[in-house]
Structure 1
């Protein structure tokens, strides 16, 4: 059994929703590895909460989400960086642990990797974002092969070193999601409310079909949200809020379909498997991770990116999808047990590669 120290995302406290899908991944990976007898501790920003797991809360200023910046942005750390403080803590206590898993997608942990004696396994939660980060990652994986894990092949392909990444996928605790075979008329959209998620396309589709759109997720960019409301003053939309898993799965399960409209390359899309677990078909732009999750015509539809008329056409035929097949796919492909197997195999490879 391993003693594992986990470095969390540095853009928000765990449980806040600020980190998006990576928060769910961290919690699920940690819980599954702990259930297998591994000893774990999570290092995360102040205010973080994880059920049944120990969290070392680190003070400091949060980092700007990389997806809100340009590709040529210079390397920059906030004053009293929470990530720098998290890394400093990990460096001090590293002898108490066998391996460190870094979930913070930021230049700093890759740069610091050679300064640690313990091996670091880097789980990368997004596609290629900045030139500087791509460069330091390329240097790191060349020096420490097998140490990068990603969600999907589509995500890996965005990097110059993509062939050297371990494809790990994602998973959820299926026992927390109840199957619903009696949906209401409404559609769902789930995610951080930020420009790269292109919520406005889902709103436009709902406006055309006149089907109510329930919006779930963290209100990250209020100016962006207000602009959508101005652009679609009569759209049948409802912002439900950022809900915990129990409330989310209950409300999500009532919807006829989940719309995924990312403007960027979605590395995975945990929201897709959350929907499938509830029996909710997924209509998504064929861009990034969703192309490797959704079985087109069986558990949802993949449509040409940025084409609202294709979203509308898919909505019109959503009742042809058997919701039981959606749940079955989640059970078959996205269980915590399967994810735990993949992570254990990867961590074993990382340990052996460092001698």
Structure 2
């Protein structure tokens, strides 16, 4: 009766004994779907043949150029995605057990091998390797999710806001790539009643950029609470960015706003960032046509001009990162853009974040939004 291997495999046999190697190859030929087999007589030869196409390895632990588990360690290192079975003699059964403990999927005693046993052992090793890899991927995904959650909680904190005269709403959506980005925001009300808001975006994606965003946000909150909300704040954030970034080409855009205690006036700095959208007296507009200056981390000794914004009695202001205006819409390659965002708000009559986001297409980048609204009354 022929042995059964459920799929055609690419297999490497590492065996220095010609007779044993011939026996194993003959037994493999009896399988229903014989594997594509190559043979190495030493660890040196095996290193030349091990690659990403090898799915299973049968390795003898008594090679001329490797001492017992040394061969296994090298195989596991060179072919981490391959299933590995160890071949042992009757006297080395304990070595086979140690090999499984070291990372092999199973071991076989040469004197006990027949076609059926060999096929079953290979099939079992393949399934066990798949399970091991799936478990490893799950653990890595869980660790990444926990790290992302920790970073996101630091990037997107609870607002320090005492007044009930302002409605404060935030949203954060990850981009289609699923990689954590450096978008951050914060809102703080100081003892004089002023409301300070920031939203920013560190260029790039990944934990380094996210960690840098956390550092910038915490620094911003610290400076606001210390009363440093003028040009000194931006210069300090610029210095921090230059000191902490991993590469000199990394920059950060941001937008800051300080709303006066009477909530009728704001002073803003748009630092290479998309301009906020403002709804007041029924009119929808962007706060400024040109930014206050370039992003942080590009030019030294920059001055960022202040933008004075009258708000009035009733208004809605939306600060956002470029993930919102770069969302895909319409034909392939099309983006919403600032003008398209303004038109969407006009069509809705006001800014409803949930409704607005449902009209946004596929996100290529993370999207962060802070909305502040003051009702007359």
| Structure showing the higher helix proportion among its residues | 1
Structures share fold, TM-score greater than 0.5: no
When the two structures are superposed, what TM-score results if normalisation uses the length of structure 2?
A: 0.24
When the two structures are superposed, what TM-score results if normalisation uses the length of structure 1?
A: 0.25
Q: Which has the higher Rg, Structure 1 or Structure 2? A: 2
